[in-house]
Amino acid sequence: MDANVPTEQGVAYINGEFMPLAQARVSVLDRGFIFGDGVYEVIPVYSHQPFRLEGHLQRLERSLEGIRLVNPHTRGEWAELIGELARRSPDEDQSLYLQVTRGVAKRDHAFPKDAKPTVFMMTNPLVPPDARMVSEGVSAVSAPDNRWLRCDLKTIALLPNVLLRQLAVDAGAAEVVLLRDGSLTEGSASNIFVVKDGVLLAPPKSNPILAGITYDVILELAQAGKIASEIRTVSEAEVRSADEVWLTSSTREILAITKLDGKPVGDGRPGPVFKHIYALFQEMKHALRHPGKAAHA
Ligand SMILES: Cc1ncc(COP(=O)(O)O)c(C=O)c1O
């Protein structure tokens, strides 16, 4: 069997129906397939409970509005469908993917008049980064951010991100750190944070970056952990002279980037601020799974 063909054992939902992922089908005329005309979300699910659902649904609304596609569901309907899918999956922890496209229509760039949006969702097991990646950190390479200027919209048209991620893979690295006009934007599929002299620096949410849900979680945890943070433009020079650099995303949580372009970041080990935030993140997850119980009880 071709190793690149997924086993498709997950659970899926398409336009009103739940089914095994292997049975899910869409038309070749779907505008998602033809034009990449759609938006998506990736929601982590812990113990069958979607994490930060409100934040993801809010971002979905913004993305849909940004591409002028009417939201096919109310927040309540989304919550029900997503909850149902998360319950149907046998995996406790899941990466729940959802996408909405502009539907099936004769191929023409202009919006079709009567097309019905296609709603597709699937869940797959959520596997957190392995212990070695957490304890040793990962390497990254930098690259010019050559994507469009609406990276705040989570669109399925990800070819630029795909090409940028492959640059990292070709260099044996885990992620690419993107720079635009001398400043840090984000990674190909993650937000990037920098620590200098104990202060956590985060590029502001703006059109060239995706407003990560994990980004918000990290800043909230920093505040709770009394870690000083500043939301401001971070220069390339600051990235290159940082004590710590991190990547964050719903599926990779938080990882230290300990090598950038072949050079060690700080002392080349995950730093103290990373360790502090990482511990707070794990405590938060523990509290979600076991409401009312302390992490180290
Ligand atoms: C380009 C980009 N930036 C940032 C993120 C992080 O967003 P979140 O924390 O919501 O997963 C992602 C997630 O996939 C992404 O694709």
> pTM of whole model > 0.85?
yes
Cβ contacts of residue 139 below 8 Å, gap of 6+? 171, 172, 173, 174, 257, 258, 259, 260, 262
Is residue 293 annotated as a catalytic residue, yes or no? no
Taking only the tens place, the pLDDT of each residue in 169-202 is: 999 999 999 999 999 999 999 999 999 999 999 9
Taking only the tens place, the pLDDT of each residue in 121-146 is: 999 999 999 999 999 999 999 999 99
Catalytic residue among 113, 154, 205, 293: 154
Q: How far apart, in whole angstroms, are the C-alpha atoms of residue 184 and residue 145? A: 9
| Cα 28 off chain centre by | 27
Query: 213: Cβ below 6 Å to ligand 1?
Result: yes
Distance 189 CA to ligand 1 centre (A): 5
Taking only the tens place, the pLDDT of each residue in 77-118 is: 999 999 999 999 999 999 999 999 999 999 999 999 988 999
The encoded tokens of residue 129 equal: 């980064």
pLDDT, position 244: 99
Query: 155: Cβ below 6 Å to ligand 1?
Result: no
Q: Looking at ligand 1, which atom is closest to the CA of residue 250?
A: 11
Query: 214: Cβ below 6 Å to ligand 1?
Result: yes
Query: 212: Cβ below 6 Å to ligand 1?
Result: yes
Average pLDDT, the chain: 95
Distance 59 CA to ligand 1 centre (A): 11
Q: How far apart, in whole angstroms, are the C-alpha atoms of residue 253 and residue 283? A: 13
- Is pLDDT at 9 greater than 80 in this prediction? no
